[in-house]
């Protein structure tokens, strides 16, 4: 096994140890950038490590999350791992149901209407939860975006 691959195994072993099935690709670039995809989520985590010249130890340099994008044309139940939802209501109204706020505390969802026309996009809370004090909100304008966050009890527009 090449030294670079050994280093990635060193960083990923704890993730596999907690039961996350991890896939990764090691690029041959000097910065040893890599992409990790967790099979149970739609998210990808990008990170790089570096090695100082003349030293055997590597150190963690950066980590960032690449978010998922879902394009929908029909009613949709938001998944825990969603981040951006592009709603095309050109043929019919769309209802987007948020997951229970308690199950996704601190999750942020960005919902954007990408179609024109009279059909609306409705975002609704479930389990008697509220979105800024309302059971639901509408997006009526093309390219309008609604961003919501869960505090574990309800939803807030940010």
Residues 42 and 87 in one domain: no
In the sheet that 155-157 helps form, which strands lie side by side, from edge to edge? Answer: 69-72, 84-87, 108-113, 145-150, 155-157
Same domain as 91, residue 16: no
Same domain for 117 and 146: yes
Provide the domain limits for residue 80.
69-157
Last residue of a domain, one of 66, 93, 109: 66
pLDDT at 68: 79
The answer on 78 and 152 residing in a single domain is: yes
From the CB of residue 25, how many other CB atoms can be counted at a distance below 10 Å?
A: 10
Phi-psi map region of 86: left, alpha, beta (phi>0 left; psi -120 to 50 alpha)? beta
Confidence (pLDDT) at 61: 46
The pLDDT assigned to 25 comes to 47
- Residue 55 class from Cβ within 10 Å (0-12 exposed, 13-18 middle, 19+ buried)? exposed
The predicted structure's pLDDT at residue 93 = 97
At 64-78, the pLDDT tens digits run 556 778 999 999 999
Low-confidence residues in the chain, pLDDT < 50: 1, 16-42, 60-61
60 and 73, same domain (yes or no) = no
Buried b (16+ CB within 10 A) or exposed e, 38-52: eeeebebbebebebe
Say what the pLDDT of residue 38 is.
Answer: 45
Listed residues 16, 31, 66: the one ending a domain? 66
Contact 12, 45 (CB under 8 A): no
Please give the model's pTM, rounded to 2 decimal places. Answer: 0.64
């Amino acid at each position: 096994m090449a030294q670079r691959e050994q280093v990635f195994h060193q960083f990923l072993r704890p993730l596999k140890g907690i039961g996350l099935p991890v896939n990764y690709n090691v690029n041959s670039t000097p910065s040893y950038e890599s992409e990790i995809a967790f099979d149970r989520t739609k998210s990808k985590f990008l990170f790089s490590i570096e090695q100082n010249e003349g030293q055997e130890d590597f150190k963690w340099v950066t980590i960032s999350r690449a978010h998922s994008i879902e394009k929908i044309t029909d009613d949709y139940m938001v998944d825990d791992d969603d981040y951006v939802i592009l709603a095309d209501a050109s043929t019919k109204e769309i209802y987007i149901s948020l997951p229970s706020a308690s199950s996704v505390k601190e999750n942020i969802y960005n919902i954007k209407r990408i179609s024109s026309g009279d059909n609306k996009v409705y975002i609704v809370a479930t389990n008697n939860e509220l979105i800024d004090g309302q059971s639901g909100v509408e997006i009526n304008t093309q390219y309008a975006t609604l961003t919501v966050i869960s505090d574990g009890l309800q939803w807030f527009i940010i």
